[in-house]
Amino acid sequence: MNHPSILDHLSLAYAPLLGRWREMAGVRLKLLPSGHQPRPDAEGLLRVLAEAWGSPGAVSPEAPPTAPPAPMLLDIAGSTWAQGLLDLPIPSWMGLALPATVAQDPLLLEQVRAARAAGVWIAARARSWEQVPEAARDCFADLILEAEDGLASGPRFGRNTWVEGARTLAEVDGCFERGARGMIGWPREAEPSAGRDIRAEVPVVVDLMNRVERQEPLENLERALKTDPTLVFRLLRYINSAALGLKVEVTALRQALMLLGYLPLLRWLSRMLLDAAAKEAASRPLVHLSVRRGFLMERLGAVSGHPVEAQEMFLCGMFSLLDVLLQRPLGELVATLPLPERVRASLLEQDGPYSLHLRWVEAVEGSSPSAIREVLGALRISPRAANLAVLQGLAAARDLDG
């Protein structure tokens, strides 16, 4: 794959697009330029996005009515990037988020209008629909506003409003009650509970049972398992339990599957299915975030030349929100699971071997270019490698969602 130099001159950040049923509806990919570029390489950017992200189809006709019309929303700042991208054919799997101020430029507004007429999904970033000039509102299908602005607005949101930056689940619920189409990002907060049991998603368990019955290759089973961090947690804890009496600790998924075998795995999954039926829908966004953390860290290890450590980085990212998911201290949860020492240290200590990698994921989620650059400098990883890790990790997680 030929990667244009554009990846050396920007940082990519992401946030999930989540619907009112807590379903993963897509991703917002934010472009954070890292220096002055008088002529941004818009064509190179689209090429590398297509190569790394692939060509996912449009939203399914069976998708919820609140689902966005494209699975990727590319968020850009400034008129220069907007002009460059709007001069090009935008693929059907991509939408554009633009500042509402583009409507003040007559030439740029005509580009936006032409793109909308061609079927491109375009959202305006503003503090309210009233901030978008009335004559230009038909150019934007959706509005993106900050939760702080949304909470200060009237009793109902305007049409097709996405809210970003909600800090609590109460704010999320309030936004949906006032008519929000969806959320961009999700608070790191679980539903109030005295501490959850560790359950797996019903669809994941059913899919795995079908795969086991067909005796699919172990790599297929491992791939399917990675869609749910709590299921990985339970499997590794089970395989190392006293009931099985193994002589060595098992810390890798593939090893656990080889030792367990198809029939015992099927019996174990049958028990998991009973537990899975009671899983709260509200925890699904945290599962989505955990999965993506795992893949982003895994890809960062792989593209930076550390394939062995990449497998451990996946576990580190996957389990980094386990305490929020289950509302139990992370130290207590990690103590029950034999993890590689480097993973354990990275989850529990600020200076663990993968702690900086985890900080990088958090910076990517927080759209902080300065934090991203600081961590990558400490890790001696190039912006290009990190940006590839973002794209490849998101693509891998998206493929598992499907």
Mean pLDDT of all residues in the chain? Answer: 85
Confidence of residue 275 (pLDDT cuts 50, 70, 90): low
How does pLDDT run across 352-395, given as a tens digit for each residue?
999 999 999 999 999 999 999 999 999 999 999 999 999 999 99
Q: Which CA distances in Å does 193 have to 122, 167, 196? A: 39, 18, 7
| Average pLDDT of the residues in 217-228 | 89
- Per-residue model confidence (pLDDT) at position 388: 94
Tokens for 51?
A: 């190569």
Phi-psi region of 185 (alpha: psi -120 to 50; beta: other; left: phi over 0): left
**Of the candidates 155, 152, 142, 154, which has an alpha carbon nearest to the alpha carbon of residue 182?**
142
Q: Which CA distances in Å does 61 have to 65, 94, 320? A: 9, 17, 35
Q: What is the DSSP letter of 9?
A: S
What global pTM score does this model have? 0.83
What residues have CB less than 8 Å from 29, skipping those under 6 apart? 12, 13, 14, 49, 72, 73, 74, 75, 390, 394
Separation CA 27–CA 74 (nearest Å): 9
| Average pLDDT of the residues in 5-30 | 92
- Residue 1 clears pLDDT 50, i.e. is over it: no
Confidence of residue 277 (pLDDT cuts 50, 70, 90): low
- Per the CB < 8 A criterion, the answer to whether 326 and 230 are in contact is yes
- Per-residue model confidence (pLDDT) at position 394: 94
- Per-residue model confidence (pLDDT) at position 135: 86
- Residue 201 clears pLDDT 80, i.e. is over it: no
- Residue 190 clears pLDDT 70, i.e. is over it: no
Question: Rounded to the nearest 5°, which phi and psi values hold at 19?
Answer: -85, 180
**Of the candidates 305, 232, 292, which has an alpha carbon nearest to the alpha carbon of residue 13?**
292
DSSP code string of 75-141: E--SHHHHHHHHTSPPPTTEEEEEEGGGGGSHHHHHHHHHHHHTT--EEEESSSGGGS-GGGGGG-S
How does pLDDT run across 66-106, given as a tens digit for each residue?
678 789 999 998 788 999 999 999 999 999 999 999 989 99
How does pLDDT run across 113-129, given as a tens digit for each residue?
999 999 999 999 998 88
- Per the CB < 8 A criterion, the answer to whether 237 and 290 are in contact is no
- Residues facing residue 16 across a β-bridge: 27
